[in-house]
Structure 1
């Protein structure tokens, strides 16, 4: 079930919790954790937020990712791999992104750093518990909430998907067109890309619609861009017509 169906009825919790937690506490984290047992959960899962040590696990990380999003995504990848829950965790992360796009309240909650950490953690644990999310996903979101990193969830989810695709031997190819490709043309394009990348990996094709390219198509995969759009060709022709002719070279 999509997140819209799983979380939407529980989003009222955010408003309720924010109303009851409107005064920001000035106590230290240690003091808060003594009062609120929920903090012991995220405290015990701090390893999610650190760069994993390859010597401590036999799981191979398929890509080296860096920065805040890369480190968090890699840590989550290792935890989900150990639990054999990669696909499920990936699906739940994508559900969360969908919810943030559909619900202005949820989106604001993720971005608002003025909300006290204790309040953020409490809201996350309640919302995702009631939605039936995996403990791995729920506790990971609590770590992000505690560390003020919820606003990075979209880029973290993107990095996590890159890891899972690499783990499955998939290569994402994005084709941009003015109108959706007919089924037969999509099949032919996918077969062509498959021949290019080799049969050791699987092409995962994603279509995007962009009227501004005027026609033709743009294909992006493996950090390569093949721009065969009418817009680009028109610019190239315009440049050719504007450039002065060198008669000495004729």
Structure 2
């Protein structure tokens, strides 16, 4: 039922939808989102945790033991911890980042919010983040949650993906298009 009214698909979408429906039924959507965001931050900051999550070398038992210790130390429990443990048991932990993204999208849709993926060359300050949120709100008519990723390779500018729309004002893209135009002219 929920899968028909959302835009998530594939294995990640199915797991995220199941988690969302359980969290909604238990009235714990915000708590689960907070836990998943905490785990995602830990994942982004730890090469060892990334290796544990992604490497097929580790057995499910080893992953589960290590993950349980990590979750206990981080204070992640309840539905969120059970979800991560089920992923481990089903050998799907490697896709956890995609599942967290899909869960965020489901929560945003449920709350009537929009979500935008923003790639910048360097971290934005609060003033710039607020200005970007305001600009996107004027376009969508909804509050917009930003998922910001820093990628120095874009050199400058930013890339914004809002639903199926993408605006790429990065310097790398502009330089590539100039280079391409010069090749065509020569």
> Would you call these one fold, judging by a TM-score over 0.5?
yes
Unaligned 5+ residue runs, structure 2? none
- Please give the alpha-carbon distance, in whole angstroms, between the structure 1 residues aligned to 2:64 and 2:120: 42
After TM superposition, the score normalised by the length of structure 1 is 0.59
Of Structure 1 and Structure 2, the greater helix share is in 2
Deviations along 1:21-60, one digit per CA (max 9) or x if unpaired, are xxxxxxxxxxxxxxxxxxxxxxxxxxxxxxxxx3xxxx78
3-state SS in 2 of match to 1:243: helix
2:41 is matched with 98
Larger radius of gyration: 1
Q: 1:168 aligns with which of 100, 106, 111?
A: 111
Q: 1:194 aligns with which of 137, 140, 164?
A: 137
Q: 1:231 aligns with which of 168, 172, 176?
A: 172
Instruction: Give 1:185 deviation, angstroms.
Output: 5.1
Aligned length: 186
RMSD of the TM alignment (CA)? 3.3
Most deviating of 201-210 and 222-231: 201-210
After TM superposition, the score normalised by the length of structure 2 is 0.75
Equivalent runs, 1:48-197 vs 2, <5 Å: 54=1, 62-113=5-56, 115-118=58-61, 120-121=63-64, 124-125=67-68, 128=71, 132-180=75-123, 186-197=129-140
Deviations along 1:37-93, one digit per CA (max 9) or x if unpaired, are xxxxxxxxxxxxxxxxx3xxxx78751422221111111111111111111111212
